[in-house]
């Protein structure tokens, strides 16, 4: 019994008397979500406004263009962008859309669904500053605005992605 207690003490005592040095701090992430730039959730308001403005612009244009297809209920679901923390520029932005349509089987009465998700990449110019992107997102008809430092519009990006 004494030997057993002594063995436990030999393992526990050094851990209490000589605590381990703290683990080295992990290196900051090279890329973060735009809502977490420049710090955790610091970009939430600016990015949320940019997404909301793009969604409104899409809704204005949808009925005359993209929503005239089989997917008449096409909706923007989420905009997501990554930021390169080393230089405060956008690396990539994806705008996710979803749409569906239904038909009724005339023989069984079963409702059949056709649903689709679209992942539309916004073609950003290399090293687009985050703040320049936000400034562009304050316009009225954003889909027809050129992205900062780019030669094309968001609308042109969607043409190659949506039905």
Domain residues for 58? 28-70+77-95+120-159
* Residue 19 pLDDT: 57
* Residue 20 pLDDT: 60
The per-residue pLDDT for range 96-111, each reduced to its tens digit, is: 999 999 999 999 999 9
In this structure, which long-range contacts are made by residues 101-105, counting pairs with CB atoms below 8 Å and at least 24 apart in sequence? Answer: 101/70, 101/71, 101/72, 101/73
Closest CA relative to residue 143, chosen from 76, 68, 98, 43 = 76
Closest CA relative to residue 97, chosen from 148, 136, 144, 61 = 61
Q: How many domains in the chain? A: 1
Q: Is residue 59 part of a domain?
A: yes
Q: For residue 12, count CB atoms less than 10 angstroms from its CB and return exposed for 0-12, middle for 13-18, buried for 19 or more.
A: exposed
Mean pLDDT of 60-86: 89
Question: Rounded to whole angstroms, how far apart are CA atoms 109 and 116?
Answer: 23
Question: Do 73 and 101 touch, CB atoms closer than 8 A?
Answer: yes
Q: Is residue 20 part of a domain?
A: no
Q: Beta partners for 96?
A: 78, 119
- The CB density around residue 31, as the number of other CB atoms within 10 Å, is 12
Q: Is residue 4 part of a domain?
A: no
Q: Is residue 23 part of a domain?
A: no
Q: Is residue 12 part of a domain?
A: no
pTM: 0.78
Q: Is residue 9 part of a domain?
A: no
- The CB density around residue 47, as the number of other CB atoms within 10 Å, is 24
Q: Is residue 101 part of a domain?
A: no
Instruction: Report CA dihedral (147, 153, 159, 160) to the nearest 10 degrees.
Output: -50
Q: Is residue 54 part of a domain?
A: yes
Closest CA relative to residue 47, chosen from 138, 151, 158 = 138
* Residue 55 pLDDT: 94
Over 50: is that where the pLDDT of 81 sits?
yes
The per-residue pLDDT for range 118-145, each reduced to its tens digit, is: 999 999 999 999 999 999 988 767 898 8
Which residues are CB-contacts of 45 (< 8 A; sequence separation ≥ 6)?
none
């Amino acid at each position: 019994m004494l030997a057993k207690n002594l063995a436990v003490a030999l393992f526990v005592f050094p851990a209490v008397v000589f605590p381990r040095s703290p683990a080295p701090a992990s290196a900051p992430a090279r890329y973060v979500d735009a809502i977490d730039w420049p710090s955790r959730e610091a970009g939430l308001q600016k990015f949320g406004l940019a997404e909301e403005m793009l969604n409104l612009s899409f809704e204005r244009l949808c009925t005359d263009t993209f929503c005239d297809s089989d997917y008449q209920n096409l909706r923007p679901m989420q905009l997501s962008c990554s930021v390169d923390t080393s230089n405060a520029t956008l690396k990539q932005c994806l705008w996710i859309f979803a749409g569906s349509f239904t038909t009724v089987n005339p023989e069984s009465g079963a409702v059949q669904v056709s649903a689709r998700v679209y992942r539309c990449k916004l073609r950003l110019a290399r090293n687009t500053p985050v703040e320049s992107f936000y400034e562009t997102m304050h316009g009225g008809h954003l889909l027809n605005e050129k992205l900062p430092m780019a030669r094309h519009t968001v609308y042109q990006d969607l043409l190659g992605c949506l039905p």
